[in-house]
Amino acid sequence: MSISHPPTLPDPEQMAAGLRSALPCFRRIDWVERTASTNADLLSRARKDDGKLARPWLLGAHIQENGRGRAGRTWQNRLGANLMFSCAFDIFLPPRRLPALSPLAGLAACEALRSLIGPEHQAQLLMKWPNDVHWRFSKLAGILVEITRAGTSRLATDHHVAIVGMGINLEDARALSKSLDRQVADWSEIASQDAHAAGVGALEMVAAVARSWYYSYNDAVREGFDTLPQRYARLDALSGQHINVLDDGRILHAGIACGINEFGQLRVRGPEGEIAVSAGEISVRLQK
């Protein structure tokens, strides 16, 4: 097995300039050395928006001092070991359809990262509901989707702003696996086994994911979520697995994962039939 080094993060100004060239559909792109949280920064900016700043926006940082994952978890990072960025998109959907944006973000990101590796390894990049990206069943990237109303949302009842943040492990998987007591993957591991991945830079990764989010969200607003279950099935890390649905360590449901519905809910088949799960941590049960 060859040894591969993770993508080097360019200077923040170079990163921003390169992304502006790669993503002409984005109206504002910034990359900074450090910030507290790119999601929090974009949430604040969106809420203050008076209509003068067109979206979508992208904000990335080499270091996030208070980066957050789902359920308020802190995202562990050190300079060069993680790729962290957030995007803001205008969404015109009724509130009941908004939860589907979270698994859709995971799907779009997983599809984008698959496009950067060789076809012989693409099937090993999967999505674990609601939106984690896994490499060989170890977490490679996490996503946090937050919905807010912009200052101009009063003009349209169905107008929301979706803030989508992502953290991709570039290296440090072994140390993270030990400190978190669970298996973690990183891009350098993929690159050591895949020549295509070894040639991918940080800028290319961000551009691919941001572009995939942009087109996926636009398609969802225009056409709906009817194809979401079939699209998810191609990347489903949980399909057919015996799982527990947890809340604060407490088992809420147990059964077999059966994909998702058009609302992005996880379908779980148990002894009393099938239920649709909207939230919770998923633990795969080892079968004896």
Whether pTM exceeds 0.85? yes
Mean pLDDT of the chain: 91
Is residue 3 in some structural domain? no
Residue 241: count of CB within 10 angstroms of its CB = 18
In this structure, the answer to whether residues 225 and 246 fall within a common structural domain is no
Is the predicted pLDDT of residue 1 greater than 50, yes or no?
no
Cβ distance 225 to 261 under 8 Å? no
Cβ distance 214 to 90 under 8 Å? no
In this structure, the answer to whether residues 229 and 246 fall within a common structural domain is no
pLDDT tens digit string along 242-282? 999 999 889 999 999 999 999 999 999 998 899 999 999 99
Measured between alpha carbons, how far is residue 122 from residues 5, 30, 193 in Å? 20, 30, 12
Among 44-58, 113-127, 152-166, the range with the most confident prediction by mean pLDDT is 113-127
In this structure, the answer to whether residues 179 and 276 fall within a common structural domain is no
pLDDT tens digit string along 30-52? 999 999 999 999 999 999 887 77
In this structure, the answer to whether residues 151 and 260 fall within a common structural domain is no
Q: What whole-number distance in Å separates Cα of residue 175 and Cα of residue 162?
A: 32
Please tell me the predicted confidence (pLDDT) of residue 249. 86
* Last-in-domain residue among 233, 258, 276: 233
Domain that holds residue 266: 242-284
In this structure, the answer to whether residues 173 and 279 fall within a common structural domain is no
H/E segment holding residue 105: helix 101-114
Is the predicted pLDDT of residue 288 greater than 60, yes or no?
no
Is residue 6 in some structural domain? no
The residue-averaged pLDDT of 67-81 equals: 63
